[in-house]
Structure 1
Amino acid sequence: MKPATSVTQALTLWPVDERQLRPGRRRSREQGQEPVQAVLAYEADDPYAVHLLFPYSRGDAGEMVSWQFARALLVVGQATAAGEGDVTVAPHEAAGYLVLTLMPEHGVQLRFLVARALVAKFVEATVEVVPIEREHERIDWDRELAALLGHQAQVRMRETDFPWGSREGTLAAAPDDRNLVVITVPSSVGTPVVWRVSRDELARMVDQARRVVQARGRVIRLAVPGDAELLLGVGAVQEFLLVSFHTALDGAS
């Protein structure tokens, strides 16, 4: 029997507001709010991360929205508050519950109560697949090195009109011109959309975005023709430009 390489766990998330998080307040189920059904997923090929999947309906179409964050948040968050970015996990005063907070790029902060026992069960199952502190043994370093030497990076882009929506894309140096960057992202129907932009222009966009006072507003906007406007975090772009620049210098020396 082959060892498991993935774990999934169904969850019921109860929406709460700030008042309901105070001691003595009943959980949102008793306040009449509708629960959200979700799934936690873990893959051995991506050993440091977990995915929280939500079903979402837009018109007649249905899709899954995915939030990715570190497995360590679920481990630490059962005992004390963990996370400083888009996702945080913390114990709740009510025994048996955790508070899961999601912050969309442009949207209202979302808070949920989730059963601690289900999270603990999921974490325990992931540890059986990949033990903690042994994640590095499951990473394909040859693939990661190939992506680095090819000046390629995986990035996540958010949709402006749908705060929970995101699409996985890539930044890559053009194989025929090191001064060009190729940006690839799937459209809403899955067809890849490709931009070619000069490295200098992308650097100008990064500089412009970094001048924004609010950290969460530091994004690059990309309009998919006839589809949606996507937000690309400026930090990911800046890191790609720095790595690819130094790699190009090493290759030219």
Structure 2
Amino acid sequence: MSQVIEHTVQAQLITRPPATRSLAATLRYDGADPLAVHIVFPSDISLDGDEVAWTFSRDLLDAGLRGPAGEGDVHVWPCGLERTVIELHAGEGVAVLEFRCADLWGFLRCAYDAVPAGSERTHLDLDETLEALLRNV
């Protein structure tokens, strides 16, 4: 059985600099999907009133805490010594959020304790993944 880690953290949604809005976000890591992390935002901030979840690479979050990282829809970079910015691109627009570095590092530490870096492949159930993909075809 895989371990699921969830941390609720505070973030600042940058709406129009320098305006911000505080919100709670949930960081989620599931050892059954060892290469990914998830950020779940509450329904009250979405355009359609539904909870919003973003999924991207655990390595991207790790790299973005050290320096600018990301291509495509998700970009992560340090903002001073205590903050990290995560920028999310969607068809509806761009969301720019600031998180405390300590919160993101704490979450990553727990994720790496659950599935150490380099051992992700041993936690992947490739047969189940392939079966799930074929069911959706």
TM-score under structure 1 length normalisation? 0.49
- Compute the displacement of 1:144 (Å): 3.0
Q: What SS does structure 2 have at the residue aligned with 1:83?
A: coil
Structure having greater relative contact order (Cα 8 Å, sep ≥ 6): 2
Corresponding position of 2:83? 97
Q: Which residue of 2 aligns with 1:120?
A: 105
1:42/1:144 Cα in 2 relative to 1: closer, same or farther (>3 Å)? same
TM superposition outliers: structure 1 runs of 4+ over 6 Å: none
The answer on whether the counterparts of 2:2 and 2:32 sit within 8 Å (CA) in structure 1 is: no
Q: Deviations over 1:133-159 (max 9, x none)?
A: 1100011122234356xx44xxxxxxx
- What is the CA-CA distance between 1:112 and the residue it aligns to? 1.1
Structure 1 residue runs of 5 or longer lacking an equivalent are 21-27, 153-169, 173-253
How many residues get paired? 135
1:62-91: CA deviations, max 9, x gaps?
Answer: 642111111111111111111102111101
In 1: Cα distance, 2:2 partner to 2:31 partner: 9
Hey, what does 2:11 align to over in structure 1? 13
Pick closer, same or farther for the CA change 1:96–1:4 going to 2, 3 Å. farther
Match of 1:163 in 2: none
Superposition TM-score, scaled by structure 2 size:
0.86
What amino acid is aligned across from residue 113 of structure 1 in structure 2? E
RMSD across aligned positions (CA): 2.4
Structure-2 change in CA distance of 1:57 and 1:70 (3 Å): same
Q: Is the contact between residue 14 and residue 21 of structure 2 (CA under 8 Å) also seen in structure 1?
A: no
Calculate percent identity across the aligned residue pairs. Answer: 28
CA distance in 2 between partners of 1:57 and 1:91 (Å): 27
In structure 2, distance between residues paired with 1:62 and 1:16: 19
Q: Specify the alignment match of 2:56 in structure 1.
A: 69
Aligned to 1:34, the other structure's residue is in SS state: strand
Q: Deviations over 1:22-59 (max 9, x none)?
A: xxxxxx5xx4x32121100000100001110011149x
- The 5-angstrom pairing of residues 80-229 of structure 1 reads 80-92=67-79, 94-104=80-90, 106-147=91-132, 151-152=134-135, 170=136, 172=137
What CA distance in whole angstroms lies between the structure 1 residues aligned with 2:30 and 2:58? 11
Structure 2 equivalent of residue 24 of structure 1: none
User: Structure 2 stretches of 5 or more lacking a match?
Assistant: none
